[in-house]
Amino acid sequence: MKEIKTKLLIIGAGPGGYVCAIRAGQLGIDTVVIEAGKPGGTCLNVGCIPSKALIHAADEYEKVSRLSGKNALGISTSKPKIDLSQTMEWKDGIVSRLNSGVAGLLKKHGVKTVEGWAKFRDGKTVEVDTPTGPQIIRAEYVVIGTGSAPVELPFLPFGDKVISSTDALSLTEIPGKLAVVGGGYIGLELGIAYAKLGSEVTVVEAESSILPQYDKDLIRPVLKRLDALGIKVMTKAKAKGLSTKGNSLLVENGGGVDHKIPADKILVTVGRKPVTHGWGLEEIDLRMDGPFIHINDKCQTSMRGTYAIGDVTGEPMLAHRAMAQGEMVAEIIAGEKRTWDKVCIPAVCFTDPEIVTAGLSPKEAKDMGYAIKTDSFPFQANGRAMSAEREEGFVRIVARADNHLVLGIQAVGVGVSELSAGFALALEMGARLEDIAATIHAHPTQSEALQEAALKTLGHALHI
């Protein structure tokens, strides 16, 4: 068996791994990347991209459905129908195009891709189980980017009626009744999409509120929309398993009383776990932070020459965090002086309406000892939001009281995901309230709410 020797070996071609490989190739580093599936990882294949495609299709279907009845716009149309199998075929086409794009970029930059499952022999050597047989690869540097996988509940194992987020993105028929276990962002994104497509959706959340990582002000517009879509929400409720006949979800909702929720499909979205087993972790001596691989501010692990990036290193499990880490690690290996010094990692919850957070919330800022100034501007006073028929939500700014340095920006509303880049840029550039307030924002756009939020926090909003 012929061995491959390389300077850099990357295990996993997810967002972090393939970006690391592309940047390494640009920098002239001899690089090999190993991937058991298709390039792009969870995000491109069974996560971010396909879920947004499904959400878009659901939004369009719901829009046409609304227009088939009486509406303020005076538009008349017939009641729509949807062929979900065709929708999934369209979604798969998008994924395939992006797969090919990533593979092409890797090839363009001289990166060798090995298909298969890698397992460490020692800290610098892996054996890959490829379709054509075992392959040994030795490297000077190793980057671990093995990602994460959906958490499976022992009393609700995946299969048949019980599905993961991955399965929910490949259904060919719309479930008549869908029970969602877990009221976090994944469960709500998919639950809302299927509700718009016609499913009767019930969300079961063990905590006292859905989206427990967000404050009540940000959640309130989402709760209102869930109610409008007919989605039933059960909080402080614990799923216990399937009913005897297997046609219902058993839920304990206080007082020890079990309720039965009829369900054609049960979508379990109670979180994700790092993929740290099955690739020889026991063969190398890495320090762990609970279930995650410990890293420093350069993404170095406890083993010299070995780095880890992305979901396997802990929260936040976000593709763009992994990408930024991968780029940084490639440059460090090339000899550049880099360190992780990001002010914020913006996060988007693609519910309806969407939620964006960047930097510190008011509570987080106070808990860190800051005296703050904070205020929000509602989309009800924003002409663009009004003309698009979706006025719910707001933009909120959190700033230091003494020098007005912006510490955090949050928003909830339709399409606010596209404001996230501006929020992050303001924080990374060290903007103060006066900087945002003095920046001309195009009219009419939703982004004006950011300027108005800054003005309002300073005490002199113009349009409210």
Full DSSP string of 277-292: SSS-GGGS---EETTE
382-420 burial, b if ≥16 CB within 10 A, otherwise e? bebbeeeebbbbbbbbbbbeeebebbbbbbbbbbbbebb
- Contact between 370 and 407 under an 8 Å Cβ cutoff? The reply is yes
| Predicted local distance difference test score (pLDDT) of residue 1 | 62
- DSSP-derived 3-state class of residue 220: helix
Paired residues of 394 in beta bridges: 378, 412
Rounded to whole angstroms, the Cα distance separating 327 from 333 reads: 10
* Beta-strand relationship, 162-163 and 112-115: unpaired
Q: Token pair for residue 224?
A: 């209102």
Distance CA 16, CA 8 (A): 14
Q: Which residue type is seen at 73?
A: L
Best CA proximity match to 309, nearest among 11, 76, 32, 72: 11
Q: What is the pLDDT at residue 218?
A: 98
Residue whose entry in the numeric block shows the structure tokens 């972090």? 16
* Tokens 């009800």, located at residue: 380
Strands (E), 145-185: 148-150, 162-163, 177-181
Q: In the numeric block, which tokens belong to residue 361? A: 């919330």
| pLDDT by position in tens, the chain (length 464) | 679 999 999 999 999 999 999 999 999 999 999 999 999 999 999 999 999 999 999 999 999 999 999 999 999 999 999 999 999 999 999 999 999 999 999 999 999 999 999 999 999 999 999 999 999 999 999 999 999 999 999 999 999 899 999 999 999 999 999 999 999 999 999 999 999 999 999 999 999 999 999 999 999 999 999 999 999 999 999 999 999 888 999 999 876 778 999 999 999 999 999 999 999 988 898 999 999 999 999 999 999 999 999 999 999 999 999 999 999 999 999 999 999 999 999 999 999 999 999 999 999 999 999 999 999 999 999 999 999 998 999 999 999 999 999 999 999 999 999 999 999 999 999 999 999 999 999 999 999 999 999 999 999 999 99
Q: Would you state the structure tokens that stand for residue 378, as one six-digit string?
A: 């509602």
356, two tokens: 């964006």
Give me the torsion for CA of 15, 272, 47, 111, rounded to 10°: 20
Q: How far apart are the first and last CA of the chain?
A: 73
The answer to whether the CB of 408 falls within 8 A of the CB of 347 is no
User: How far is Cα 7 from Cα 192, in angstroms, rounded to an integer?
Assistant: 46
Distances, alpha carbon 95 to alpha carbons 38, 102, 203, 314, in Å? 10, 11, 28, 26
Question: Is there a contact between 355 and 412 (Cβ–Cβ < 8 Å)?
Answer: yes
Kindly list the strands in the beta sheet with 200-204, ordered across the sheet, starting from the edge strand earlier in the chain: 162-163, 265-268, 177-181, 200-204, 232-234
pLDDT of residue 116: 96
DSSP, collapsed to helix, strand or coil, labels residue 20 as: helix
Chain centroid to CA 414: how far?
Answer: 17
**What's the burial of 122, exposed, middle or buried (CB within 10 Å: 0-12/13-18/19+)?**
exposed
**Catalytically active residues, by annotation:** 443
Contact 436, 457 (CB under 8 A): no
**CA 328/CA 442 separation, integer angstroms:** 34
**The tokens 């054509």 sit on which residue?**
132
Q: Are 17 and 11 in contact (CB under 8 A)?
A: yes
Q: What's the one-letter identity of residue 211?
A: L
* H or E segment and range at residue 184: none
pTM exceeds 0.85 for this model:
yes
What is the largest distance, in Å, between two alpha-carbon atoms of the chain? 73
> What's the full length of the chain, in residues?
464
C-alpha distances (whole Å) from 218 to each of 215, 352, 353, 358, 396 are: 6, 12, 10, 13, 10
CA dihedral 307, 312, 317, 319 (to 10 degrees): 60
